Amino acid sequence: MSKALYRKYRSKRLSEIVGQNHVTDVLTRALKQGKIAHAYLLTGPRGVGKTSIARILAHEINGLEYGDDIIHLDIIEIDAASNNGVEDVRDLREKVQITPVSAAKKVYIIDEVHMLSKAAFNALLKTLEEPPEHAVFILATTDIEKLPATIISRTQRFHFRSITPADAMKHLRHIAEQEKITIDDEALALIAERGEGSFRDSISLLDQLSSLADTKTGITRELVEQALGLAPHQHVEKLLEAYREKDLPQIINLLDDAENSGIQPTVLTNQLVATLRQTIANNPQFLPLLDKLLEVGKSSQPAVKLLIALAENTPTPKAKSAALTAPAPGISAPVAVVKKLPAEPLASKATAKPLPSEKPKKKKAAPTGEFDWAKLVEYTREHYLAIYSVLSKCSHELDGDTLRIYTGNAFYKKKLDDTKYHTSITESLIQTGAGGWEIETIPTPPPPKDSQAAAVAAIMGGGEEVNVEA
């Protein structure tokens, strides 16, 4: 069985540790001077070398050789996540009194020490206050806030930093060369970025991708994006360009494409944030967007929150006027309430005969099959999700050979009239057994069926019928 790369390239000496010179330099000088503390506390994010340094330090304190396959009885590792009870610490207190078997010091490494219970911390405190001369404790944690101040005050604390992208790329390049892995710089940069300052995560990702890579092209940026479920970087750039141009239809199309490709909105948001952070100095106009993107991950509806953040910069349509609440003058019978809508020209088919100078239109084939609106909408839900999101909000009517779709607003009409969507609707009609219909889109709600309500709507320049209970 092959060894994982992060284990194969784990540092064996303090001088081999990458990116933590502020820690290793101090520890190296102390060891040379023979100054050994009775308790060390290593804190910082995951995957930056805390456990590796703890093991190296334990061996160098005793002048012992360090390797993954070498076991020393006087170096004891304890995982506080699974040994966090007061009885576990009491057992440790008893055994720590026993002198080392062969080494100068008996070293206890307690990993994830913040997982100890309150009672266990209290039991450990006494030992840290008055440890035996032969005992050294090395505590490691990713969550310093959970440690009691009394524990922290009795240790020498060393804080580890996140690995910089430059250090991560340099180390990954070294490993790739040693393992003869072909990888381009863009892919290396993306792996380092997705590692989020963790050597272990970055190396594990490189290990995973090396088994997926093509033998000729190696690891490319596109492969990394596909493996991690990321949007292509061109897609992210197009979204930011649409935001800059205040192009709401393009924003919606791009978000729909990302959703249909299985890209999670939170992942896409993180990519947008990462891109903006790198370019914000030259594009300060994106600061308001960056602020709003930080809220997407906290939302219960991240897809909607992302759309709002990107669309907030786009022009908004004029607000609708208040609905009529009283019958029009001269009409005594109760009528349906009509909401006043913005004046928009109703799309309609030309009914006049062609002028002598016009060429008569070619007669289209008659519709075939039985039309079923519910069947059409359901088909788009299964095969064209972006169309379904619009079509499910529309109304329809049949007029001769024409399927008239009432979209309710000009934006939805424009979307359905797009060549790509129009072709998909035609294909959906054929697949549901209703081909040959001429499709016409109307940017308003359907006209009121009640004759008096229709008269009021005509006076008001268009309207939407609302049912009113007697």
For 10-47, write each residue's pLDDT tens digit.
888 888 888 888 999 999 999 999 899 999 999 998 88
Q: Which two tokens stand for residue 22?
A: 């502020």
Tell me how far apart the alpha carbons of residues 213 and 210 are, in angstroms, rounded to a whole number. 5
Tell me how far apart the alpha carbons of residues 397 and 399 are, in angstroms, rounded to a whole number. 7
- Identify the pLDDT of residue 345: 47
Q: Are 325 and 337 in contact (CB under 8 A)?
A: yes
Stretches in the chain below the pLDDT threshold 70? 1-2, 68, 316-366, 368, 448-470
Q: Are 117 and 123 in contact (CB under 8 A)?
A: no
- Identify the pLDDT of residue 41: 94
Integer Rg of the chain from CA: 34
Please tell me the CATH code under which domain 5-159 is placed.
3.40.50.300
Q: Please state the pTM of the whole predicted model.
A: 0.58
What class does CATH assign to 165-228?
mainly alpha
Tell me how far apart the alpha carbons of residues 458 and 65 are, in angstroms, rounded to a whole number. 92
Pairing of strands 156-159, 135-141: unpaired
- Identify the pLDDT of residue 56: 92
Q: Which of 16, 13, 8, 60 is nearest to 35 (CA)?
A: 60
- Identify the pLDDT of residue 1: 53
Domain map (residue ranges) of the chain: 5-159, 165-228, 233-311, 337-342+366-464
Q: How many CB atoms lie within 10 A of CB 307?
A: 18
CATH 3.30.9.10 fits 337-342+366-464, yes or no: no
pLDDT in tens, 370-390: 888 888 888 888 888 888 888
- Identify the pLDDT of residue 255: 92
Tell me how far apart the alpha carbons of residues 461 and 164 are, in angstroms, rounded to a whole number. 63
